[in-house]
A and B are shown apart, each in its own frame.
Chain A
Amino acid sequence: MSANRVAVIDYGMGNLHSVESALQHAGECEVVVTSDAEQVKSADRVVFPGVGAIGDCMAEIRRLGFDALIRTVIDSGAPLLGICVGMQALMEGSEESGGTQGLGIFEGVVQRFPGGEDELGNPLKIPHMGWNTVSQAQSHPLWAGIADDTRFYFVHSYCVQPSDTAVEQGRTEYGIPFAAAVGRANVFATQFHPEKSHTAGLTLLANFLTWNGQC
């Protein structure tokens, strides 16, 4: 049996070692952090991360031609996991950075949190930073072994609102409800950071490592 090769797409935005080490910790795999399109295409599965401002991320993705690469991966049927800004980039567009066009894999937009107050009457701080509950909108192989309403680690100021609720895999609330995870066919994406979400996050990554890309 060939090695379970995972490509983590590197487009120069942030540290990817935590994703790499969490994958290695989660299960049997050979991880390559790469900006080489051929290595991405030949991998068994692909992780599409992202941190920082989406405008900068999309600019780099387009400059490197990775918009086409991501579509190629999705069309190939290989399992693809988007994380944080990687998830946001899969949407049609974002309010952030003066309006940014996304890859349009999923219909819907990325909007800024409106703020508001928590249950103690204190203002909701932005970024939404810390551990929040994720209610599983539907059953999915990546939720296997993870209890509904488990907490995952989030850090973001903008949130995903899919227009087609059928792609919503997880929901969270912070002043407003938003999509904590979206997915369709061989694509799954999380707003939270599984690589920073302790046991629950490692379980999700382990599920990704054995996922055949079907729901």
Chain B
Amino acid sequence: MGLAKRIIPCLDVDNGRVVKGVNFVGIRDAGDPVEIARRYNEAGADEITFLDITASHQDRDTTVHTVEQIAREVFIPLTVGGGVRAVEDIRVLLNAGADKVSINTAAIHNPQLVRDASNRFGSQCIVVAIDARAVHAEGESPRWEIFTHGGRKPTGIDAVQWAQKMADYGAGEILLTSMDRDGTKNGFDLPLTRAISDAVPIPVIASGGVGNLDHLAQGVLQGHADAVLAASIFHFAEYTVADAKAYMAECGIEMRL
């Protein structure tokens, strides 16, 4: 027995509504993040991640309100990300009930934000989200670069070195998304996941590309991830969280069943 690997359903939320559809049997409102979070809490999810993809500033109040509502009813850890630009944004989300706050683009523009935030609130609540793509030519040794703008804009920053730098700056965890795999259902980019996970002393959450339960298991077994994040396979009730945990446990992975 030991520390369990975690399964984290992810909600993409725009202006207070879950945007990648959710298809649970008997759910009253498939777009309501509070109801969906409650469902995942009951279903045995180990954590919940809430990504706010809202672009406009005024809708941020809706996000804060939603986080407050989720935190009142969901008694597992809640990570909130999206649009976090300043220490003040982090403070507002933590006060609303987020346990961890995920920083993505703002860390690239201002790495010091990660250091300031972890000094102020503690590393345990600062997650750095990394969106990476493979950039090596065929036959070259693998190399991944950080991309912004939903995977469209290269930054020239090496993903492994960036992850190490963010750990040095006090990040408590890395949320790693392969932009090559995101939405493909072809499985995690396992070499990427393993390269990052083996390079940093902090936990790594694998994300992007999950299409079946074996993908989740391989994220841990081959990718060395500490946690696996998925959205659509759970939202569309292709598999339950319990199915995923049972499968991963059969593969010899320590799980909270």
Contact = CB atoms under 8 A, between A and B. Distances in A.
Interface stretch (B81-89, B122-130, B183-191, B231-239): B122-130
Contact of B2 (A14, A17, A173, A197): A173
A102 B74 CA distance: 32
A112 B188 CA distance: 32
Interface in A18-53: 18, 21-22, 25, 51-53
Nearest to B77: A196
B97 A131 contact: no
Contacts of A52: 121-122, 124
Contacts of A201: 75
Contacts of B97: 15, 17-18, 21
Interface in A114-148: 115, 118-120, 122-133
B226 A125 contact: yes
Contacts of B122: 14, 51-53
B227 interface: yes
Nearest to A50: B122
Contact of A131 (B4, B125, B173): B4
Contacts of A202: 75
Contact of A151 (B4, B72, B96, B123): B4
A18 B73 CA distance: 9
Nearest to B194: A122
A106 to B, nearest CB: 22
Given A125-B201, A153-B77, A130 B124 contact: no
Interface residues on A, range: 35 or more
A5 interface: no
B238 to A, nearest CB: 24
Contact of B203 (A14, A17, A119, A125): A125
Interface centre among B75, B95, B98, B172 (most CB of A within 10 A): B75
B3 A118 contact: yes
A21 B71 contact: yes
Interface in A154-191: 154-157, 173-174
Contacts, number: 110
B6 interface: yes
Contact of A18 (B1, B71, B256): B71
B3 A130 contact: yes
A151 B256 contact: yes
B94 A15 contact: yes
A53 B125 CA distance: 12
Size band of the interface chain B makes with A: 35 or more
A17 to B, nearest CB: 5
Interface string B3-28: 11110000000000000000000000
A119 B3 CA distance: 10
A18 B123 CA distance: 18
A174 B226 CA distance: 14
A196 B6 CA distance: 14
Nearest to A54: B122
B46 interface: yes
Contact of B3 (A17, A18, A128, A197): A128
B113 interface: no
Contacts of A122: 197, 224
Interface in B181-224: 197-198, 200-204, 221, 224
B76 interface: yes
Given A120-B221, A196-B77, A201-B75, A14 B94 contact: yes
Nearest to A153: B77
A197 B75 contact: yes
Nearest to B221: A120
B41 to A, nearest CB: 7
A21 B78 CA distance: 14
A209 to B, nearest CB: 15
Contacts of B224: 122
Contacts of B221: 120
Nearest to A84: B124
15 contacts: A14-B125, A15-B94, A18-B99, A52-B124, A120-B221, A125-B226, A126-B201, A129-B203, A129-B226, A130-B3, A130-B5, A130-B6, A155-B77, A157-B123, A197-B75
Interface of B: 1-6, 41, 46, 71-73, 75-77, 94-99, 121-125, 172-173, 197-198, 200-204, 221, 224, 226-227, 252, 254, 256
